[in-house]
């Protein structure tokens, strides 16, 4: 798997956690945009915004969230975390 943060500011990472029958996979970008390649196909939900994206070619491009903000795209995630409003709660 590969991820290319664009532009050079910000950070991006992919994380997988498997415990028993639970297999969790998330793509995270902070401040800058990122394009992730070689990721599992499926439905990704942003835990911050609730945005839903479908990956069919192993590639997911995530737009720049803004200075100090993040996007957390979770494979087969249930949706965003917290209450609706200007800041996640």
Q: What topology is assigned to 2-75 in CATH?
A: Immunoglobulin-like (2.60.40)
Place of tokens 């100090």: 68
pTM recorded for the entire structure: 0.76
Q: What's residue 44's pLDDT? A: 93
Q: What's residue 31's pLDDT? A: 84
Digit-coded pLDDT (tens) for 9-57: 568 888 888 888 877 889 998 888 888 999 999 999 998 888 999 999 9
Q: How confident is the model at residue 77 (pLDDT cuts 50, 70, 90)?
A: confident
Strands 22-31 and 2-6, by their bridges, are: unpaired
Round to whole Å and give the CA distance between 64 and 33: 4
For residue 4, pLDDT beyond 60: no
CA angle 89, 53, 64 (to 5 degrees): 65
């Amino acid at each position: 798997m590969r991820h290319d943060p664009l532009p050079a500011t910000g950070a991006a990472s992919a994380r997988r956690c498997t415990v028993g029958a639970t297999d969790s996979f998330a793509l995270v970008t902070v401040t800058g945009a990122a394009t992730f390649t070689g990721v599992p196909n499926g439905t990704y939900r942003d835990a911050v915004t609730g945005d839903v994206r479908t990956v069919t070619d192993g590639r997911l491009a995530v737009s720049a969230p803004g200075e100090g903000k993040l996007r957390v795209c979770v494979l087969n995630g249930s949706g965003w975390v917290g209450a609706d409003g200007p800041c996640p709660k």
